Structure 1
Amino acid sequence: MTATFWTVAALFCGVAFFIVLVPLWRHGRRGGRWSFTGIAAALAIVPLALFLYSQVSNWDPVLAERAGREAALVDELARRLEQNPGDLQGWRLLAASYMQLGRYAEGRAAYQHVWSLTREPDDALKLAYAESQILTERATLGGEAGRLVEEVLASQPADPKALWYGGHVALEHGREDDARTRWTTLLAMDLPEPLAQAVQGQLAGLGGAAASGGEAAAASATEIKLSVTLGPGLALTDLAPGAQLFIIARAAEGGPPIAVIRRPPSALPGEFSLSDANVMIEGRSLAAYPEITVVARVSHSGQPTAQSGDWQAEAVVRPGAPETVALVIDQVVQ
């Protein structure tokens, strides 16, 4: 462990020791006797605390020190490049380092300088520069950053990062089908679990993954017919402009969404049909579940995850049943 760790540990142990020892001292003055058991307990605090901290702490002093060294090296590189504004590779390294450290505004400024030095930017630079803009100002999805992402997708349609940001660019321009197709393509790749969950979350907001031609033709084979209305006391006029209606199907025992429909709240009251065309992950089918829990939720934030204040209704249904299930949205999420 590092000197910094031991210094901080000693400081906190000293404070703990002081907190325990002062009451013992006062008790000894009043009663004329010291509690040797209490003193022993106080003395045991330091080794016990250090042992427990070393076993259960999730703070890694080695990693923390290394991060500090990396940040110092990046700052030193920045100071040197101020004297060498024409060092293209140096500035490109600096920009990438800033982004890696999460210093996006500085990364964007550095990439802007790289861009000014580059006559014919390659796809990697286009995508990196676009990312730095998007992470500092989402509105750039509809401007230069969005244009750069589209250029990369035109030449590299299977680039994972381009597909991710390309989905957001398509949504910014109201092209939900393009966004769904791009994220469905991305989800089919071998993604790390956190990224796969993020892509699934985005697809949930769009009503599920894009279906292939054969699947789309067979989508109506198993469906859940729904009639969704608002209950008394709830009015569309009370909703913010960004509100959305989500109809979400899950296995009766719980788990991630199987299928999702997303519509504006103005679709209420209305008739809806959940089918395999709305599934989240290619290859899954509503027919594989004997019972499904369906939730109709009006999200005030526009996000598919339930939040306090959202309106919803819930029912357990059988996929393929001929009758229409009536859902009256009259519950408020607490």
Structure 2
Amino acid sequence: MSGTSCGICTRLVGDRLALCEVCGRTLVDALLAVPSLLADLETARSGQARIAEGRAGGRSAEAPLPIKDTSSEYRGRGVRLLGERDAVALSTALHGWARVLADHLGAEVPIESRALAVLAVNARHTRGSAEAPALVHEHRLRNGGRVRDSHVARRMAAHLITPVQTDERLAVWLASHPHELRQLEAAEQAYHDIVNATGGLRRAIDRPADHRYLGRCAVQLDDGATCAANLWAEPDATWARCPRCRVQHEVARIEAAATRAAREMLCTMPELLHACAAVGSPIARRTGYRWAAEGRLARRAWLIRSRAGVRITDRHEGGAVPVYRVGDALELARRETSERGSTA
């Protein structure tokens, strides 16, 4: 029997495609996991739960900042949210390979299709498994006829009220063409881009539940590169040792630097509220949105998700979400607290 070797595992591929069926299935599984990964990322960023062993657990007693100071990387002041690099890499891969597959099929991606939205919502809580359907179907008699009623399982309802993101739609659209993905000349590259991106995002989200995340190690190695290994600290630890370069870091100093960096963050409102709570100045959700509506909390820019990825711009475009500076909210909260104290 003649054939070609799979570009990933070197198995013999009888239909002479770039990927074998096993690796093609791995690619599809990674795509179907995207909606649940993005939902878990939002949960982790908003501080509603901690993620461990692939599941959302109870609220952590600690509220670690879901950010990393990126000043050394960008030669200036800056921060990055938990999983931001991996989320951007995944978004870029999904948009890019969706265009490639659409060209291969000679078709357009039906991005506004209701079917894609339904598939994405299903995948959020089933994690791509067909064994955990989103809808419960019941057959009953009505007006002398047999009809089927469908309703959403109560535990899954929260997943359905969150708007479906473009990245989720692209992922399930790609996953719905398993054979065509294996037909692509660059299928091996598509596999690496998507599987690696989803793997990186999963590692960022599934952080140890009993440890505090401190960001990445900033130690310069002998070859001039930055260590960049993830740093974790025990709940009451004052020092944390880097698992890669073995340098010890003072936890209080890292957390103080993260708190200072947090003031410069540009965040959507849910992210801003969590960041304020994490630095010890919680702001009620209703208060934050009221400040924004009244113009007291100034909008600093717009966050836009596009085929090129995620970016922040001064221009308002379709689908843009307003972002606010954390330091502005903290200062506004301090002034209100001071004013209430002076009138007491």
The two structures have a TM-score, normalised by structure 2, of 0.27
The structure with more radius of gyration: 1
TM-score (norm 1): 0.28
Which structure has more RCO (C-alpha within 8 Å, separation ≥ 6)? 2
